[in-house]
Amino acid sequence: MKRTPLVVANWKMHGQKAWIESFIQSFIGEFCGSRQEQQCEVVLCPPHVFLAQVQALVQSSVVKLGAQNLHSENKGPFTGEVSAPMLQEFGCTHVVVGHSERRTLFGETDSDVAAKFNAACQAGLVPILCVGENAQERQAEVTEVVVQRQLDAVLKQHGIAAFAKAVIAYEPVWAIGTGNTATPAQAQDVHRFIRKYLAGFSRDIAEKVKILYGGSVKADNAIMLAGESDIDGALVGGASMNVKDFLAICAGFSGRQI
């Protein structure tokens, strides 16, 4: 089964207009036209206020635009929120759903995440569904229980067919922004579990769905992570804001086609 690697940059609440212009011009200058362009997909997810700027900068390239969050409703009295149709107007193709920071800092529940996942699908956006355990859950050896619960929230509401046009990102919460990274073997174990679990509903969809790793991904561990059979790319935080490092991560995955 051929799954083209996908690398997603999550800039979180970082960036200024001048930096973004410089970053994208430098990145596109190196990435586009290279071997990596044909062998690795890239999505940039800036803060919402910079979507228009990034849209204009990437529109003539293969680099795609994503958002970091969305509301489950298409419109309404939800001050400060953005909807899937709004994201579409800015050329977004992807949107991150249920990032651990949204779950832990803003109280998003599994049900909330499932509703946002559905809103993205209904609008034709590709949801990047984030799942993963925290340090206490890892220590208690309930990683698979937690991940299955998070997947079930979507499966029970929308069924396995919804994953045919979705991406999953396994992000061990204990590794995000800490400098700690799951070993390739640890990450592969969870990725394999996710694929095997989905295969119980549809083997075809399970084989096709891209499962990314997110948790302190850096240039020096990307190649090792890419070597695992069920790791199809990365959801990158801090390292995605350094052109050299982000290019190296893309290169690490670009040679891998399953």
- CB distance 67 to 82 below 8 Å: yes
Helices (H) and strands (E) in the chain, counts: 12, 8
- CB distance 226 to 218 below 8 Å: no
| Residue among 48, 94, 99, 191 flagged as catalytic | 99
Angstrom distance (rounded) from CA 37 to CA 184: 24
| Residue among 94, 171, 191, 228 flagged as catalytic | 171
- CB distance 65 to 54 below 8 Å: yes
Per the annotation, the verdict on 101 as an active-site residue is no
- CB distance 13 to 46 below 8 Å: no
Cβ-based burial of 52 (10 A; exposed 0-12, middle 13-18, buried ≥19): middle
Angstrom distance (rounded) from CA 124 to CA 252: 29
Torsion angle (degrees, nearest 10) of CA 243, 95, 166, 91: -90
Angle, vertex CA 230, rays to CA 227 and CA 234, nearest 5: 75
- CB distance 46 to 95 below 8 Å: no
Instruction: Report the SS3 class of residue 89.
Output: helix
Per the annotation, the verdict on 71 as an active-site residue is no
- Residue 23 makes CB contacts below 8 A (sequence gap 6+) with 241, 243
Sign of CA dihedral 57, 63, 66, 68: negative
User: Which positions are catalytic?
Assistant: 99, 171
